[in-house]
Chain A
Amino acid sequence: MSRIKTLASAVLATTLTAGLSTSALAAAGDPVKIGIMLPFSGIYAQLGEAGRDGLKLALKEKASALHGSPVEFIELDTEAKPSRAPELASSLLNQHEADFVIGPVHSGVAMGMIKMLRGKDTIMIIPNAGSAAATGPLCAPNIFRTSFSSWQPSYPMGKVALDKGYKKVYAISWNYGMGRESLDAFEESFTAGGGEIVEKVLLPFPSTNFQSHVSDIAATNPDAVFTFFAGGGAIKFVKDYDAMGLRGKIPLLGSGFLTEGTLQAQGDAAEGVLTGLHYAEQLDVPKNREFREAFNTEYGHYPDIYAVQGYDAGQAIANTIGQLEGDISDKQAVISTMEKLTIDSPRGEFTFSRAHNPIQNIYLREVKDGVNVVQSVAAEALEDPARGCKL
């Protein structure tokens, strides 16, 4: 079944020629091959589609920067299954000879892709997966990320908590990479400033049986709670927290994914929740307003953070090709050009760190009337420490 799907996607690989000026530089040579490895089915399908749509919008807007090269997309569905990642990445590398590979959403899939693509001539751009290893111990010249590292949204929240006068914090998340790394990043800045983690709970992923823990929080009575949950778990946790009467009594802080794409389902229960993230839909940046309208015109709905990250991956490709005047045959030149880019992102401008992770602002947001309202810049031009990266 999955093999048929792979074949079908490959056959359906679309060639985007419309919108490209044929009169641009005569040397309209080989197409730029962009492999897309995102989940288009399963629990993360929505995220995969958003990333792809953002990517394609950027390449369409910046068609003139491509110097007449047509773009060929090869879309493969990862189904967010880590076990399929090496096989798919290998087919993009060897069979399709992709110049760029965009993916994935899921950190587990990222590990499988990196295993295959690390040190190769194909440039890999991660438009979501926040795993620390990708721009840490496993960093490589040809691996870039346009999203975030798990450390980035949570680290500034320790200082936010201290500034609010919270001394004792209860930390809770799922026991997997992103969950552990988020709590550790928070703890790092919070304890350095004199705060104390009174309890650190790691639940098996993806268990959402939170009620007993919420009761435990009530009994512990900390100054605040810090958490990382996403998707269905984020909805359930915030609702349970509210249902047990803790909202308004014990402040709830989190990594931004707690209230990203979940606010409608959380309803009033999310009011007042404080989170840190590198983006907010209502962010007051001209590029953001422009991007949101362009995306809506193209696809008929407004973009989310995953679309922004895909869009920036597309911008990174287009700007690199533009600066190299269409010649991407020298991969060393491609890497050194991309490293030096400043991306005019809807989240605000960012550059790449030595480990190729965005150096970006993290915004403190508070949920008000069902919207993540930016309160302040929690950390300006924050760079992931890239522990273990030898670049």
Chain B
Amino acid sequence: MSTELFFVQLINGLQYGLLLFLIASGLTLVFGVMGILNLAHGSMYMVGAYLVWYFVAVTGSFTVSAILSAVIALGLGILIERVLIQRLYNRNHLDQVLLTIGMIFVFNSLQSILWGNDPYGVAVPEALSGSVPFTDNSSYPVYRIFAALICIAIAAALYFMVSKTRLGMLIRAGESNREMVEALGVNIKSLYTIVFAIGVMLAAISGIIAAPMRSIVPGMGESVLITCFVVVVIGGMGSIKGAFVGALLVGVISTFAAVLMPTMSNMVIYLFMILVLLVKPQGLFAK
């Protein structure tokens, strides 16, 4: 591999990793704060992608569609938390797994009923459709650079929110001692609703951002879910910082594995996960 190709693949890997972080961040946030293992997280990614596809077809504007879809996802998150998830706080993980697996089936069926099973694609928005010269005979699409920047911005915003704001303080307090926070007069119920809704919205936003780069197909949620879990387990369940580092590692490693040993590429990230867990059984940044 030439040095030039090495850097090209490194950039591909980092860009993929940033998107993985965005998807995984919601999963780890919800688990870290609420202790809820949300297997339907991938479905929210799918919902985001399908919603933005649908609204682009109706309105023609990607920006409008993206905002609409994100807001609907936030609403959906509040609804799911209030109606379903709230009943599970005092139950064990198995019950949570059963409910959220059930939600995967519901969302897949809804997708099939509402939008059919044809594969779809969303066009890259006009303003971002250009590309910059990259190597001798390839160029790098502006949209992918934009997508990477959005992911970095959201990562920064999450970091700021968790470590510098009052909401973040409550989230961190709730993570370490739920009863004490409640005793101090904080409405933990609505705090949980907010956190869950943010988690759902983060998944949907990653689906929205990914839509112009990927194909929108039935089952797209499940395929990212597994990679997401690998990211979160490597980084340490519940740690946002861990998810960030884990996502970049998985992105870069799987990109190089795909080029160097294509037939084994799917296995490599799992091998990496096993290695990490052997050395640090709780993940890299576990609390």
Contact = CB atoms under 8 A, between A and B. Distances in A.
Do A and B bind?
yes
B121 interface: yes
Contacts of B137: 218, 221, 245-246, 249-250
B131 A236 contact: no
Interface stretch (A38-46, A318-326, A377-385): A38-46
Interface string A232-252: 111110011001111001100
B138 A265 contact: no
B128 to A, nearest CB: 11
A175 interface: yes
Nearest to A249: B137
A207 B266 contact: yes
Which of B5, B131, B262 has most A Cβ within 10 Å? B262
A220 to B, nearest CB: 9
A70 to B, nearest CB: 32
Interface string B72-101: 000000000000000000000000000000
Interface string B107-139: 000001000111111011000000100111111
Contact of B121 (A206, A215, A233, A266): A266
Contacts of B9: 212, 215-216
A243 B143 contact: yes
A262 interface: yes
A108 interface: no
Contact of A231 (B8, B214, B217, B255): B217
Given A235-B215, A265-B215, A203 B258 contact: yes
Contact residue range for chain B? 35 or more
B265 interface: yes
A209 B15 CA distance: 12
Contacts of B16: 209, 211
A239 B121 contact: yes
B134 A45 contact: no
A219 B121 contact: no
B177 interface: no
B213 A203 contact: no
Interface string A246-273: 1001100000000001101111000000
Contact of B5 (A201, A206, A208, A215): A215
B219 A267 contact: no
B259 A216 contact: yes
Contacts of B218: 42-43
Interface of B: 2, 4-5, 8-9, 12-13, 15-16, 112, 116-121, 123-124, 131, 134-141, 143-144, 213-220, 223, 254-256, 258-259, 262-263, 265-266
List the 6 closest pairs (A to B, CB-CB), nearest first. Answer: A265-B121, A245-B139, A232-B217, A218-B138, A235-B215, A232-B215
8 contacts: A201-B262, A204-B266, A207-B266, A214-B138, A221-B137, A232-B217, A232-B220, A265-B121
